[in-house]
């Protein structure tokens, strides 16, 4: 389990769902980008996870818990915390979810959330426009 002491020692090897990390970077607010020899992804501390939109929570079945794997689920972290990603990364996140979107699939609720057209969703709309 990641704790505040571990987060304070970014650069150290930490346990992940994919084995021990060989690289850890705090991208902001204790959200960690990690790589291992076999895979990688993101760790989102509980206090940040609890603030994520409900449709984005629980869609990380490959990472699990507070972990989001690097192939698809990283996009969920980008959507939840767009201020930590640049526009090219947000565009790639939109493309990732568009590619893996399947009705009834594990990422379908994420795709639905991304494509909502509620007032005040400027960042989501900006990310969508940049992917077009």
- Give CA–CA dist 120/93, Å, rounded: 20
Quote the pTM value.
Answer: 0.81
The pLDDT of residue 11: 61
SS3 category, 35:
strand
List, for residues 46-97, the tens digit of each pLDDT value: 999 999 988 888 888 888 889 999 999 999 999 999 889 988 898 899 889 8
Q: How many CA atoms lie within 13 A of 39 on its CB side?
A: 17
The pLDDT of residue 101: 79
The parent domain of residue 28 ranges over: 4-131
Helix (H) or strand (E) holding 3: none
Domain count, the chain: 1
């Amino acid at each position: 389990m990641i704790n505040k002491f571990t987060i304070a020692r970014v650069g150290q090897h930490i346990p992940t769902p994919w084995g021990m990390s060989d690289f850890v970077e705090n991208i902001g607010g204790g959200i960690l980008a990690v790589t291992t020899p076999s895979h990688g992804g993101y760790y989102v501390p509980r206090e940040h996870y609890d603030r994520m939109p409900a449709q984005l929570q629980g869609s990380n079945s490959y990472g699990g818990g507070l972990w989001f794997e690097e192939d698809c689920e990283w996009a969920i972290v980008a959507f939840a915390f767009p201020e930590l990603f640049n526009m090219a990364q947000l565009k790639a996140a939109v493309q990732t979810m568009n590619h893996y979107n399947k009705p009834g699939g594990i990422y379908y609720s994420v795709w639905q959330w991304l494509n909502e057209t509620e007032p005040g969703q400027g960042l989501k709309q900006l990310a969508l426009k940049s992917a077009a």
